[in-house]
Chain A
Amino acid sequence: MRISGGALLVAIAFTVPIVVELRTILAWFGVQISVFEGLVLGLALIAALLVYAFWPEADDSPDASSSS
């Protein structure tokens, strides 16, 4: 773990406002996505966070295709 469990929980909570307003922000740039697509993007964001958090400390080249 690169961050504590508590910090990870808070970091995941932090993606919620981003996910909630993602569609508005994208619409600003003319990109329309559905609730479902927004949800998928959010989950991807959280997955990326988890990968980062659990990636072994020594290895410094995170590869998003596999999670530990």
Chain B
Amino acid sequence: MSEAAVKSTDATTEDEGGIYLDQFPAEAKVIRSALYSSFLALALGGLFGIIQTLHRTDIYRFIDSETYYTVLTAHGVFLVITFTIFFLVGVFTWAVTTSLDRPVEDIRFTWLWYGLMSLGTVMAGGAILAGFTDATDISADVLFTFYAPMQAHPLFYAGLVIFVVGTWLAGADWFRSWWNWKQENPGERIPLPTFMVLTTMIMWYIATLGVATAILVFLLPWSLGLIDSVNPTLTRTLFWFFGHPVVYFWLMPAYMMWYVLLPKVSGGKLFSDPLARVVFVLFLLLSTPVGIHHQYLDPGISEGFKFIAMTNTMFLLLPSLLTAFTVVASMEHGARQRGGSGRLAWLKALPWRDPVFAGMALAGIMFAAGGFSGMINAGMNINYLVHNTLWVPGHFHLTVGTAVALTLMAATYWFMPQLTGRDLWNRSVALVQVVLWFVGMTFMTNAMHRAGLLGMPRRTAEPQYEGFEFQAGVGSVAELDAQIAIGGALLAISIVLFLTNVVLTAVAGKRSDLPDNSYADTLSGPEDSPLVLDNLKLWTAIALVLVVFAYSLPLLSIVERGGLFGPDVTAFPQHIQFVASMAVSVVGDSLATIDPVSSLAQFADTTIATLTGVIR
């Protein structure tokens, strides 16, 4: 960006009021680009979502089952990395500039990190999409968890690293703004939105140390052929060191919207600023030391460490319950300001017609349901029942797929006018869109949870095996499949409506009087919160200590047992042909001689044949 743009933002910060575009024109441009990148990812992810839904329910198939892993990888990566994180950097930039009331320090730096994130996305996304064609041998069918020994093209890992470095610089941008603001405003409390951004970013810096190590030290050199093998348990553990906190990285922008925007659109004030700060500090402290709860079924980590992770996980319920309380209290305050009364009748006074409000409220309600299935996942013993079944996608389509995605879509209806100066193209379509998402997710996730309870696996194109029937408690498996497909279709329609509204707002939205850029006031403000809450150094130190406690012993014992570079593990795409044919000749033939299990052998045959194809 040019110098001139920087100057022009400087000039406008003095004026109070106005929409964001008028206050910070240069920043509005970056944020718009970030949001558009995010929506592009949503469009792609949604497309792959409906393809795989129709395929695995066997309702309509037009891809080979071997391609399913490519589709699923693209779905996962585009939605939970690209869509969410591009949106986050946009919202966080808005939050910092608005609440500190100052432009970014150097807009060229801001464009730099946006550029790095885009470059990383093109590299990693390109590697995934290249898996659809045989023209190159580039592919990255490793799912968003990229577990070794599945191996992706180096382009994929390098892309991820560059993307993450982009987010690091984005964080540096916001810290720099805050630091300079602090010098000019000594003794002032950090405004709440900036506080949320900073605590979230500290968590992110700590968490990404895990993936950065996994990729830079192990996976990337391994895919480049510089080292022969890796220790799968080690890289998996490093992944989940980051993999749990990344969940909060998706959630934090949604929480921020619930705290600073939802009370405002409800017509009231945020119930408590101090409580909101406590919640963000708790997430900073607790989100990293719990990652092992994704590894309850991993061999090579002792039960004791898993048990500690479980206990810590249960503590994480606290900030979510605090959020539920604060948000509902703020909504009730809003409703009563609008003339609502009665014990429950106040609900009627809420602005249900407003898609920003309705979308966020529905997202919050779905999140409560997701919280319950999350508690099931978190329990070490009961996790064995649902592990790697369709229950798990059922759970996270409620959390990241709805609580986060729907909140971001609803927030978009507020941000688009702020960033473009144009009114939303169609408010009723927006309302129908958010309601459709709610209904679609109800169908899809309900059936996924129930299919999971029957033991139906996730991450497979062929969940139905020959000669084996899943037994549904109530209803039938066909009915569950139908529900998943209906839900998926409604979601796809919802995404189309959303994108249509965004595009038409950008090109055809009318210019009219728009509400000023601002966020919710508080009933109990920062002056009521103890000073220690703003002591970021203290919280960072405690967070680091907790991480060391939680991870040093497990990591040591993993390395002790498996070696830093593992027992000689062969990479998956290269050698699967060999492994699979070995398996067929050894297992397949010997099983085929025993009559009662001959169908099993047949199943082994077909699975292996599929596997061989999948991982070309």
Using a CB–CB cutoff of 8 Å, the interface residues on chain A facing chain B are 2-7, 9-10, 13, 16-17, 20-21, 23-24, 27, 35
Q: How far is the CA of A49 from the CA of B473 in the complex (A)?
A: 30
Q: Give 8 A-B contacts (CB < 8 Å), ordered by A residue.
A: A7-B348, A10-B352, A10-B358, A10-B361, A13-B362, A20-B442, A23-B474, A27-B473
**Contact of B358 with A6 in the complex, beta carbons under 8 Å:** yes
**Contact of B435 with A10 in the complex, beta carbons under 8 Å:** yes
Output the least CB separation between B21 and chain A (Å).
Answer: 27
- Contact partner of B431 (CB less than 8 A), chosen from A6, A17, A21, is A6
**Contact of A21 with B446 in the complex, beta carbons under 8 Å:** yes
**Contact of B353 with A4 in the complex, beta carbons under 8 Å:** yes
Enumerate chain B residues within 8 angstroms of A24, measured Cβ to Cβ.
Answer: 473-475
Majority-rule SS of A interface residues: helix
**Contact of B475 with A5 in the complex, beta carbons under 8 Å:** no
Q: How far is the CA of A22 from the CA of B577 in the complex (A)?
A: 48
Output the least CB separation between A26 and chain B (Å).
Answer: 9
**Contact of A35 with B352 in the complex, beta carbons under 8 Å:** no
**Contact of A27 with B435 in the complex, beta carbons under 8 Å:** no
Query: Contacts A6-B351, A10-B435 hold; do A23 and B358 have CB atoms under 8 A apart?
Result: no
Q: How far is the CA of A10 from the CA of B362 in the complex (A)?
A: 9
Enumerate chain A residues within 8 angstroms of B479, measured Cβ to Cβ.
Answer: 35
**Contact of A16 with B439 in the complex, beta carbons under 8 Å:** yes
Q: How far is the CA of A3 from the CA of B345 in the complex (A)?
A: 10
**Contact of A20 with B446 in the complex, beta carbons under 8 Å:** yes
Q: Is B438 an interface residue, CB under 8 A from the partner?
A: yes
Contact string, B337-354, partner A, CB cutoff 8 A, digits 1/0? 000000000001011111
Enumerate chain A residues within 8 angstroms of B87, measured Cβ to Cβ.
Answer: none
- Contact partner of A17 (CB less than 8 A), chosen from B351, B353, B432, B442, is B442
Query: Contacts A10-B358, A24-B474, A27-B474 hold; do A5 and B353 have CB atoms under 8 A apart?
Result: yes
Q: Is B443 an interface residue, CB under 8 A from the partner?
A: yes
- Contact partner of A16 (CB less than 8 A), chosen from B351, B352, B442, is B442
**Of B351, B353, B361, most A-chain CB atoms within 10 Å:** B353
Enumerate chain A residues within 8 angstroms of B432, measured Cβ to Cβ.
Answer: 9
Enumerate chain A residues within 8 angstroms of B474, measured Cβ to Cβ.
Answer: 23-24, 27
Using a CB–CB cutoff of 8 Å, the interface residues on chain B facing chain A are 348, 350-354, 358, 361-362, 431-432, 435, 438-439, 442-443, 446, 473-475, 479, 483
| Nearest-neighbor residue (CB-CB) of A7 within chain B | B352
Output the least CB separation between B439 and chain A (Å).
Answer: 5
Enumerate chain A residues within 8 angstroms of B438, measured Cβ to Cβ.
Answer: 13, 16
| Nearest-neighbor residue (CB-CB) of A24 within chain B | B474
Q: How far is the CA of A4 from the CA of B358 in the complex (A)?
A: 12
Enumerate chain A residues within 8 angstroms of B361, measured Cβ to Cβ.
Answer: 10
Output the least CB separation between A46 and chain B (Å).
Answer: 12
Enumerate chain B residues within 8 angstroms of A6, measured Cβ to Cβ.
Answer: 351-354, 358, 431
**Contact of B483 with A3 in the complex, beta carbons under 8 Å:** no
Q: How far is the CA of A56 from the CA of B51 in the complex (A)?
A: 47
| Nearest-neighbor residue (CB-CB) of A5 within chain B | B353
**Contact of B435 with A20 in the complex, beta carbons under 8 Å:** no
Query: Contacts A10-B358, A27-B474 hold; do A20 and B443 have CB atoms under 8 A apart?
Result: yes
Output the least CB separation between A14 and chain B (Å).
Answer: 8
Enumerate chain A residues within 8 angstroms of B362, measured Cβ to Cβ.
Answer: 10, 13
| Nearest-neighbor residue (CB-CB) of B482 within chain A | A35
**Contact of B435 with A13 in the complex, beta carbons under 8 Å:** yes
Enumerate chain B residues within 8 angstroms of A3, measured Cβ to Cβ.
Answer: 348, 352
Q: How far is the CA of A25 from the CA of B467 in the complex (A)?
A: 31
**Contact of B348 with A17 in the complex, beta carbons under 8 Å:** no
| Nearest-neighbor residue (CB-CB) of A35 within chain B | B479
Output the least CB separation between B539 and chain A (Å).
Answer: 38
Q: Beyond A10-B352, A16-B443: 20 further Cβ-contacts under 8 Å?
A: A3-B352, A4-B348, A4-B352, A5-B353, A6-B352, A7-B350, A9-B431, A10-B361, A10-B435, A16-B438, A16-B439, A17-B442, A20-B442, A20-B443, A20-B483, A21-B446, A23-B475, A24-B473, A27-B474, A35-B479
Q: How far is the CA of A16 from the CA of B437 in the complex (A)?
A: 12
Enumerate chain A residues within 8 angstroms of B446, measured Cβ to Cβ.
Answer: 17, 20-21
Output the least CB separation between B377 and chain A (Å).
Answer: 20
Output the least CB separation between A17 and chain B (Å).
Answer: 5
Enumerate chain A residues within 8 angstroms of B431, measured Cβ to Cβ.
Answer: 6, 9
Q: How far is the CA of A9 from the CA of B362 in the complex (A)?
A: 12
Enumerate chain A residues within 8 angstroms of B443, measured Cβ to Cβ.
Answer: 16, 20
| Nearest-neighbor residue (CB-CB) of A10 within chain B | B352
